[in-house]
Each structure stands twice: as C-alpha cells, then as structure tokens.
Amino acid sequence: MKVVITGGTGFIGRRLADTILKKGGLTGPSVTEERVEELVLFDQLVPDGFDLGSDPRLAIVQGDISDKATIDRLIDRDDISVFHLASVVSGGGEKDFDLAMRVNLDGGRHIMEALRARSSVPRLVLASSIAVFGGAAMPDQVGDKTKQTPQTTYGITKAISELLINDYTRKGFLDGRSARLPTVIIRPGKPNAAASSFVSGLFREPLNGVDIALPVKESTLMPVLGYRAIVDGIIRLHELPSDALGDDRALSLPALTVTVTDMLDALDRVADGKPLGKITIEPDPFIEEIVTSWARDTYYDRAIALGLPKEDSIDEIISYYIDDYLNHA
C-alpha cells in the first residue's frame, strides 16, 4: 500500500513516517494489514538540510495542498492511507484568514475528494485540535461530547474538517478518523507561528542554555501531550476497526493538564541542578487572548477505552526529549 503524510517534513510528520516504516505495515482499504511499499512526505516547503535518509520506500513531494490537481496526482492508488497533518497553525491563522481557509479547509476538501474518487474506501486520519472548543459557554472540562464553538479561525477550520470527515465516512466515500490533539511537546528546532509554540520553548530553550521570555502567566492552565504518545496514538487510531468508532469519528487524545508553574517545576526536577537558560514572564496580549480562549482541561475516557496512550508525567516527556534530541545530538 501507499501512505501519504501531508505536512510530512514537519516534526510530527517525520516521526510518524519513521514509526510507520519501522512497523512495516498498516491496515489498508482491504481491512487487513498491508505492507507499506511507498511512503510520501508531502509538504509545501522542505526545510534546509532536511535528511530523507536512505529508505527506498520514502519520498518527498513538494507542492501546494490548495491546488486540487496536485492532490489528485498525489492520491493515485486505491490501496492508500492518508495522514493529514498539513495546516496553517493558530497564530498564523489569526493573522491571515484567507490563507487558513485555503490551506486548512480547501486543502482538506481536496484530499477527501481525491480519496472519494478512488475505487476503494481509503483510511484518512486528520490531525485536529482541542482548539475546536471555545466560547463563553465552554465548560471547564471539554471532550468528545462538548459543543464546538471555536474562537479562532484555526479552530473553525478544524471543526469543519471533523464534521466533513464524519459525513464522508457516513456516505461510504472514505474511512475517516480525527485525532483531536492537545498542545504537542517538546518540539525541537525553532519556534513556529503556533500560539502554543512557547510551551515547547519553555523546555527547549533553557535546556539549550538559551534565555526565554514566556508570553503567558505562570497560572496558565493547558492540556499537553508528548510527541511519542501523539505519534503512537495517531497510528493506533488509524488501525482501529471502523465499527469501534461509530458515527463520531473524532477522538480527543489523552492529555496531561498542567500549569506553566507545573511545567517549570518539572524542568527543574529533571535538570537536577544543571545550568539552564534564564526564564522570564513577559505577557503578550496577542498570545494571551488566543491561549485563554482554549480549553483548560479535557476528558478522554473514549480514547483510553480504545487503547490510545498517554505519558505518566511531564518529567517523563522531558526525559525522553533529552534522550532523543540532546544526548543523541
């Protein structure tokens, strides 16, 4: 079978690709495990110095997801699965409404329509977000049964995409699933345009001896999850039998709900006296307005019952980030 990962040259995309290649097979349209013989990382931009590695199954296709002809050429087999990670992120979506609609909404529709045109029922996994929740009536804890009233353009596009996947699946056009992600930690490299980018920076920069100014207060509360559990959870969601999901194909991933203070304390514990970059608090009204519109806590009973993973603590996430990206480097 062929596997396509949109946004594939990004952090989660590449880790997902590596995990799938090591696994060797996925459940395909035949509803049995099929050997992955081709895995395409599709992205608009390929980072400088991006190392594809030597695996002959792996390839990069560069292009614009909002161009339908490009997507039709990309999805060119009946035995195919797509992991749709490509997205204009939260901060970027607030600054450029048209770009967010073109990439997040139109691009997603192009993928769904290309899969619909195949003579099979391909599997599609969307990387959604808890940014689908929001508004004055949002409860203290959100989950799969919470009404969606997102307060960012990014959240709106994710909510619409979740509903489209539900309907395309109901109609038998594809077999879709949406993984509703909390904030992903700890991303290596440089900050991106996501409003939540500071959360990874809170750990990454000090561990690298770099000073950082955090744009939110220490009391800020948010759900987070480590990249290992997210990648494993996305694959687990892909592999679930279709009837295990029913008519609601969107699943809130398990998360750890913590404050900025909790994260700073965990960093100090794991650092265990080693020198860190200086951390200061300098609230940014633009970032604070976005972050305070998000859910503060989540429930995820359904995901746990279906076997999706979760780390035990922030300390655990910091420790394996050190092993994967600092000690390894």
Question: pLDDT tens for residues 30-56?
Answer: 999 999 999 999 999 998 888 888 899
* Residue 163 CB partners (closer than 8 Å, separation 6+): none
pLDDT of residue 225: 96
Give strand pairing partners of 252.
180
* Residue 225 CB partners (closer than 8 Å, separation 6+): 181, 182, 183, 184, 185, 233, 253, 254, 255, 256, 310, 311
pLDDT band, residue 198 (cuts 50/70/90): very high
Q: Using one digit for the tens of pLDDT, what is the confidence trace for 255-265?
A: 999 999 999 99
154 catalytically annotated: yes
Q: Using one digit for the tens of pLDDT, what is the confidence trace for 142-189?
A: 999 999 999 999 999 999 999 999 999 999 999 999 999 999 999 998
* Residue 30 CB partners (closer than 8 Å, separation 6+): 79
Kindly report the pTM of this predicted structure: 0.94
In the set 154, 227, 299, 321, the catalytic residue is 154
* Residue 150 CB partners (closer than 8 Å, separation 6+): 131, 132, 133, 134, 135, 156, 158, 159
pLDDT of residue 91: 83
Domains of the chain, earliest start first = 2-181+226-252 (3.40.50.720), 185-221+256-298+306-327 (3.90.25.10)
* Residue 167 CB partners (closer than 8 Å, separation 6+): none
pLDDT of residue 290: 86
Give strand pairing partners of 81.
3, 123
pLDDT over 70 at 298, yes or no: yes
Give strand pairing partners of 214.
281
